């Protein structure tokens, strides 16, 4: 080490997160515990990841069994749990084939690649541009960072990867500029999570989908935060009159075990031939066992229906806070993906909630994001509502 080197931070973990002053060591259901024994109601779900609660027993049992058999093998061999999970995803969506990876950013990278490959190999064009939307969030790799329509997230990483163009979200007139000679696909969230919990307007989305069909542009839906039951149906697109050509999913797919996937209709999937894409860990036996157990739980129980009913109760009760407190401006979202629009800084309310042993998040400077596990109970919701009442009363 040079004698001139100045050490400004000796922490061994890079400081890429503004961490809350809490060290979590245990979780079960809707609750987590810190290293001093404090118990918190966790309405972050690991940022929409532990949708079925922490340490779900059904998933734990299946993963535990798999740990006794095989942890990893390469994708040069057939992996039974991978093929079973792919079949379940295909059977319950409008897609035909699945590519497995490890995260949401990787799933969106795969979507961007398949869009360009489809344009080149199937359509026989040089089109490469993917249209995304302002205030979107699609990941932090160089390509998904460029796809993200937020300058604050892109700062310091110029030049941006070329091939992306941004339009305003929910602006129906702006869709007249959607297609150009260079455009091959559109990538969007049906609820902009990081962008403030803003759902897609149905009329805007219908026009967007129609243009994609007319111009033969791939309609690619980022369901990384909205998928796996988060919005009341298995995937959010199922609440709209559209059929995506490509769907990306991660977060809740493994209920906390890292896994991502890109689902595609056959016309797009045909562009991914042997050697065109890959992932060492993507779809390995442990991850796909967790994904398979998660899907089987969601499909084999009434969790989606119960969650949808509880979400309606929760939103109704939150609407009452809009009437009660001036600092609460609006409630928006879909299912168990809820945004509370507030006056002032959202982080201040998150901090106050944590002081009452409730964990929630922000979604931009003035939106509190609430992400209960789909398995939460009415009693837990009432605890949450009681705490928020105290938070806003101060």
d(CA 230, CA 370): 11
What's the confidence (pLDDT) of residue 1?
43
d(CA 201, CA 361): 24
Strand 129-133 versus strand 164-167 pairing type: parallel
Strand 24-28 versus strand 31-34 pairing type: antiparallel
- Closest CA relative to residue 222, chosen from 253, 189, 245: 189
Q: Is-cis flag, bond preceding 159, omega within 30?
A: yes
132 falls in which pLDDT band (50, 70, 90)?
Answer: very high
pLDDT digits (tens, 9 = 90+) for 68-97: 999 999 999 999 999 999 999 999 999 999
pLDDT digits (tens, 9 = 90+) for 335-370: 999 999 999 999 999 999 999 999 999 999 999 999
Beta carbons of 86 and 98 less than 8 angstroms apart: yes
Question: In this structure, what are the phi and psi dihedrals at residue 34, rounded to the nearest 5 degrees?
Answer: -95, 180
What's the confidence (pLDDT) of residue 297?
98
Q: Looking at domain 24-56+302-393, which CATH architecture does it have?
A: Alpha-Beta Complex (3.90)
- 26 token code pair: 């245990």
Q: Taking the domain 57-300, which CATH number applies?
A: 3.40.640.10
**Average pLDDT, integer, range 27-35:** 98
5 falls in which pLDDT band (50, 70, 90)?
Answer: low
Where does residue 246 fall: left (phi above 0), alpha (psi -120 to 50 degrees), or beta otherwise?
beta
What's the confidence (pLDDT) of residue 10?
80
Distances (CA, A) of 390 to 13, 42, 85, 89: 35, 17, 44, 42
d(CA 82, CA 60): 17
Whole-model pTM?
0.95
d(CA 191, CA 197): 6
Beta carbons of 276 and 112 less than 8 angstroms apart: no
Mean pLDDT across the chain, nearest whole number? 96
- Closest CA relative to residue 106, chosen from 134, 138, 135: 138
Beta carbons of 131 and 149 less than 8 angstroms apart: no
Strands in 265-388 per DSSP E: 328-334, 337-342, 358-359, 361-362, 367-370
154 falls in which pLDDT band (50, 70, 90)?
Answer: very high
3-state secondary structure of 203: helix
What is residue 283's DSSP assignment? T
Percent of the chain predicted with pLDDT > 70: 98
pLDDT digits (tens, 9 = 90+) for 213-254: 999 999 999 999 999 999 999 999 999 999 999 999 999 999
What's the confidence (pLDDT) of residue 11?
86
Beta carbons of 356 and 33 less than 8 angstroms apart: no
d(CA 83, CA 61): 20
Q: Is 84 exposed, middle or buried (0-12, 13-18, 19+ CB in 10 A)?
A: middle
Q: Where are the domains of the chain?
A: 24-56+302-393, 57-300
What's the confidence (pLDDT) of residue 394?
82
Distances (CA, A) of 6 to 2, 3, 189: 9, 8, 43
What's the confidence (pLDDT) of residue 280?
94
What's the confidence (pLDDT) of residue 282?
96
Beta carbons of 334 and 205 less than 8 angstroms apart: no
d(CA 179, CA 217): 8
Strand 97-101 versus strand 39-42 pairing type: unpaired
pLDDT digits (tens, 9 = 90+) for 266-301: 999 999 999 999 999 999 999 999 999 999 999 999
What's the confidence (pLDDT) of residue 105?
98
């Amino acid at each position: 080490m040079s004698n001139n080197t100045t050490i400004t931070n000796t922490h061994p973990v890079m400081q890429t997160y503004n961490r809350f002053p809490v060290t979590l060591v245990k979780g079960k259901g809707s609750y987590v515990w810190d290293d001093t024994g404090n118990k918190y109601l966790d309405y972050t779900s690991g940022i929409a990841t532990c949708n079925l609660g922490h340490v779900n027993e059904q998933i734990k049992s299946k993963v535990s069994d798999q740990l006794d058999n095989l942890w990893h093998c390469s994708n040069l061999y057939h992996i039974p749990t991978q093929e079973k999970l792919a079949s379940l995803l295909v059977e319950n969506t409008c897609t035909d084939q699945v590519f497995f990876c490890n995260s949401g950013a990787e799933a969106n990278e795969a979507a961007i690649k398949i869009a360009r490959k489809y344009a080149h190999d199937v359509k026989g064009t040089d089109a490469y541009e993917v249209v995304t939307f302002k205030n979107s969030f699609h990941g932090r790799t160089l390509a998904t960072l460029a796809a993200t329509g937020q300058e604050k997230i892109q700062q310091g990483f110029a030049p941006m990867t070329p091939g992306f163009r941004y339009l305003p979200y929910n602006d129906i007139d702006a869709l007249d500029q959607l297609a150009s000679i260079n455009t091959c696909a559109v990538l969007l969230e049906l609820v902009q999570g990081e962008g403030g919990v803003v759902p897609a307007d149905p009329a805007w989305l219908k026009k967007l989908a129609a243009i994609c069909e007319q111009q033969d542009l791939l309609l690619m839906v980022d369901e990384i935060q909205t998928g796996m039951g988060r919005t009341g149906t298995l995937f959010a697109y199922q609440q709209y009159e559209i059929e995506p050509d490509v769907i990306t999913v991660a977060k809740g797919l493994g209920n906390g075990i890292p896994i991502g996937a890109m689902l595609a209709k056959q016309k797009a999937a045909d562009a991914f031939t042997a050697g065109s894409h890959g992932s060492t860990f993507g779809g390995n036996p442990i991850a796909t066992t967790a994904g398979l157990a998660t899907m089987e739980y969601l499909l084999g129980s009434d969790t989606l229906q119960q969650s949808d009913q509880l979400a309606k109760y929760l939103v109704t009760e939150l609407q009452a806070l809009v009437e009660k407190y001036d600092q609460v401006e609006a409630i928006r979202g879909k299912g168990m993906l809820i945004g509370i629009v507030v006056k002032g800084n959202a982080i201040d309310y998150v901090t106050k909630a944590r002081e009452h042993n409730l964990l929630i998040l922000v979604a931009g400077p003035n939106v509190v994001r609430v992400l209960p596990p789909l398995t939460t109970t009415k009693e837990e919701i009432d605890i949450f509502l009681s705490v928020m009442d105290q938070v806003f009363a101060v």
